[in-house]
């Protein structure tokens, strides 16, 4: 397989996907997540659309908190270090209310 094609198949690292998923479930906007991860908004949108949580606005508050809790359970890897490299250390582990402009149609 050609090196460029191989690179495209592995779109984003597990670390990036994990950070995006957690921040998305918490309630951050795509643009805010892009700033945190150093990715473009369109890349974040792609990660979100392929995630288990593409339409978080259809989830209840309890469902979003349960999804976040589940994600946080797998945060620490086998080596005892966080998957996210510590990026989520300063992020509250509680969901925030969504504003009307944050509704994602999925």
The per-residue pLDDT for 15 is 93
pLDDT along the chain (106 residues), means of 10: 53 92 96 96 96 93 96 92 92 88 55
Give the Cα separation of 47 and 16 in Å (integer).
9
Give the Cα separation of 74 and 18 in Å (integer).
10
Domain locations along the chain: 14-101
CA angle in degrees (0–180, nearest 5) for 52-50-22: 55
The per-residue pLDDT for 2 is 52
């Amino acid at each position: 397989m050609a090196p460029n094609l191989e690179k495209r198949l592995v779109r984003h690292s597990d670390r990036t996907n994990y950070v995006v998923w957690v921040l998305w479930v918490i309630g951050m906007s795509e643009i805010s997540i892009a700033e945190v991860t150093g990715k473009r908004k369109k890349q974040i949108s792609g990660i979100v659309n392929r995630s288990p949580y593409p339409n978080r606005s259809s989830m209840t508050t309890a469902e979003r908190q349960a999804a976040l809790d589940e994600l946080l359970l797998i945060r620490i890897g086998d080596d005892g270090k966080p998957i996210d490299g510590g990026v989520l250390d300063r992020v509250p582990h509680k969901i925030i209310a969504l504003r009307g402009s944050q509704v994602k149609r999925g």
